[in-house]
């Protein structure tokens, strides 16, 4: 029997359908449902296990996250109902911030995990957004073009395997001056599918990711002052929340415990007839962190490009001295130190003679690391190098 042209077409369609089904036989898939259409990503849990475990856990509710509006640790699906808050034409679609892209991550950060097998050499790549080294949380982006300068700066953990037309359509929406779509693009839900024995066996709970919980609080009084006491531990980041009406909550970081002695109390103001409190605690594995403060410590920065070495001695009153041989020496008029997991920032630091600077210090050990930042000359210029931070 001779096969006619229509039969060849049918066989070709059948072959394509078989190949597509076979391509999805094994793996972990993320099905994104948006109000502009659907797309699917294949998650690379072999080459990027931390990021995949984190994304899967947040998407399914298997990983806890912090609701910054109330201080409650939640386990409902994190991404459902969020929006694509940043869209850059010809570049990326970015989402994963439930309310605010500035401070609305899951309440923790995890380290970068790069693999030479994963690059931005093609479009349709799924990766973690960040605010610098080792600052991954919940935000992600999908590229619509190659992005080779992003290699080893942004953690890739998947690629789009169907629905690229939807990703491209989202990328064409009208945006404001901050790249936010003028009309919300809603990520209605993310469904995770595990296909095959290896995908089913992938354990998201043994990847060294931080854990998050609300801890019990005891309220005590001492000499007319009110204190909250709670159970604490090394490498824990505590944040306390307060409210007078259980509707509107404020919060404050208590810092990350990087060395004994470990604090376990916070003094609160008695400025209301009634007040409610919560404490959220992120528990990290034993690793490298920036200190809570730099009081009494000495920071030595070796600038790249032969600029020289600046040594800063911080005092106990938010100031200090500096010595920059061949440039100048003098006093540190003021500085603002912020502790984050894996890094700290001087944002800014003001000198008596040198130009003001903003600096990010990324720690590679308890005392050493690399820095980057900006010197506010006219015009401002970027700087980088290595540093050492030693205690008193």
Together in a domain, 82 and 39: yes
Q: How far apart are CA 192 and CA 70, in angstroms?
A: 27
For residue 231, being part of any structural domain is answered with yes
357-390 residue pLDDT tens = 999 999 999 999 999 999 999 999 999 999 999 9
pLDDT of residue 288: 85
Together in a domain, 191 and 163: yes
Asked if residue 128 has a cis previous peptide bond (ω within 30° of 0), the answer is no
Together in a domain, 329 and 243: no
If phi over 0 gives left and psi between -120 and 50 gives alpha, with beta otherwise, what is residue 58? alpha
pLDDT of residue 100: 60
Q: How far apart are CA 301 and CA 143, in angstroms?
A: 36
Helix or strand run (H / E) with residue 83:
strand 82-83
For residue 341, being part of any structural domain is answered with yes
Range of the domain at 272: 215-283
| Domain finish residue from 253, 283, 313 | 283
pLDDT of residue 17: 40
pLDDT of residue 225: 85
Together in a domain, 173 and 219: no
Residue whose token pair is 């898939």: 29
DSSP 248-309: S-EEEEEEE--SSSPP-EEEE---SSS-EEEEEEEEPPS-----S--TT-EEEEEEGGGTEE
Together in a domain, 189 and 223: no
pLDDT of residue 101: 52
| Domain finish residue from 146, 166, 201 | 201
Q: How far apart are CA 216 and CA 249, in angstroms?
A: 18
pLDDT of residue 283: 97
**CATH number of 167's domain:** 2.40.100.10
Together in a domain, 192 and 158: yes
217-272 residue pLDDT tens = 999 988 878 899 999 999 999 999 999 999 999 999 999 999 899 999 999 987 78
pLDDT of residue 21: 41
pLDDT greater than 90 at residue 295 = yes
For residue 290, being part of any structural domain is answered with no
| Other residues' Cβ atoms within 10 Å of the Cβ of residue 116 | 8
pLDDT band at 34 (very low <50, low <70, confident <90, very high): very high
Residue bearing the bigger pLDDT, 197 or 6: 197
| Domain finish residue from 258, 283, 308 | 283
Together in a domain, 188 and 224: no
Which residues are CB-contacts of 114 (< 8 A; sequence separation ≥ 6)?
152, 155
Together in a domain, 154 and 47: yes
Q: What is the mean pLDDT of the chain?
A: 92
Together in a domain, 170 and 251: no
For residue 7, being part of any structural domain is answered with no
Among 61, 148, 145, 147, which Cα is nearest to 106's? 61
pLDDT band at 24 (very low <50, low <70, confident <90, very high): low
For residue 347, being part of any structural domain is answered with yes
**Virtual CA dihedral for 154, 158, 162, 163, nearest 10 degrees?**
-30
| Helices and strands in the chain: count of H runs, count of E runs | 4, 26
For residue 18, being part of any structural domain is answered with no
99-155 residue pLDDT tens = 665 557 999 999 999 999 999 999 999 999 999 999 999 999 999 999 999 999 999
Together in a domain, 112 and 242: no
For residue 72, being part of any structural domain is answered with yes
Q: How far apart are CA 275 and CA 71, in angstroms?
A: 14
Together in a domain, 114 and 49: yes
pLDDT of residue 18: 38
pLDDT of residue 308: 97
pLDDT greater than 70 at residue 23 = no
pLDDT greater than 60 at residue 5 = no
pLDDT of residue 343: 95
Q: How far apart are CA 345 and CA 322, in angstroms?
A: 17
**Mean pLDDT across 42-71:** 97
pLDDT of residue 98: 83
Based on the structure, what is the number of domains in the chain?
3
Together in a domain, 377 and 244: no
**Mean pLDDT across 167-194:** 98
Spatial contact of 63 and 57, defined as CB atoms under 8 Å apart: yes
Spatial contact of 346 and 291, defined as CB atoms under 8 Å apart: no
Q: How far apart are CA 191 and CA 184, in angstroms?
A: 21
Which residues are CB-contacts of 50 (< 8 A; sequence separation ≥ 6)?
110, 111, 113, 155, 207, 208, 209
**Mean pLDDT across 165-180:** 98
For residue 17, being part of any structural domain is answered with no
Residue whose token pair is 């309440």: 107
Q: How far apart are CA 363 and CA 300, in angstroms?
A: 13
């Amino acid at each position: 029997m001779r096969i006619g042209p229509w039969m060849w077409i049918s066989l070709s369609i059948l072959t394509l359908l078989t190949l597509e089904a076979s391509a999805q036989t094994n793996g972990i898939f993320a099905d994104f449902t948006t109000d502009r259409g659907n797309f699917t990503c294949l998650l690379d849990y072999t080459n990027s296990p931390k990021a995949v475990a984190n994304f899967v856990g947040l998407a399914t509710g298997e990983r806890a996250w912090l609701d910054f509006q109330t201080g409650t640790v939640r386990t409902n699906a994190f991404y459902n109902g969020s929006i694509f808050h940043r869209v850059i034409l010809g570049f990326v679609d970015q989402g994963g911030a439930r309310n605010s892209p500035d401070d609305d991550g899951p309440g923790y950060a995890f380290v970068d995990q790069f693999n030479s097998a994963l690059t931005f050499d093609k479009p349709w790549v799924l990766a973690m957004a960040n605010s610098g080294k080792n600052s991954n949380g919940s935000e992600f982006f999908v590229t619509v073009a190659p992005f080779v300068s992003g290699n080893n700066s942004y953690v890739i953990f998947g690629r789009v395997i169907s629905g690229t037309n939807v990703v491209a359509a989202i990328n064409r929406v009208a945006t404001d001056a901050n790249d936010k779509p003028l009309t919300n693009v809603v990520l209605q839900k993310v469904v995770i599918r595990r296909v095959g024995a290896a995908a089913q066996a992938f354990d998201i709970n043994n990847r060294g990711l931080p854990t998050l919980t609300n801890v019990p609080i005891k309220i005590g009084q001492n000499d007319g002052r009110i204190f909250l006491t709670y159970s604490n531990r090394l490498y824990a980041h505590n944040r306390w929340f307060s409210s007078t009406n259980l509707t509107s909550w404020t919060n404050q970081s208590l810092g990350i415990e990087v060395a004994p002695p470990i604090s376990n109390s916070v003094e609160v103001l008695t400025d209301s007839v009634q007040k409610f409190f919560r404490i959220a605690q992120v528990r990290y594995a034993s690793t490298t962190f920036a200190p809570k403060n730099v009081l009494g410590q000495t920071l030595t920065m070796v600038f790249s490009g032969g600029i020289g070495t600046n040594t800063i001695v911080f005092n106990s009153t938010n100031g200090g001295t500096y010595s920059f041989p061949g440039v100048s020496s003098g006093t540190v008029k003021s500085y603002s130190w912020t502790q984050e997991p894996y890094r700290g920032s001087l944002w800014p630091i003001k000198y008596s003679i040198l130009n003001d600077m903003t600096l990010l210090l990324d720690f590679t050990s308890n005392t050493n690391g690399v820095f980057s930042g900006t010197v506010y000359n006219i015009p401002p210029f970027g700087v980088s190098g290595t540093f050492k931070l030693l205690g008193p």
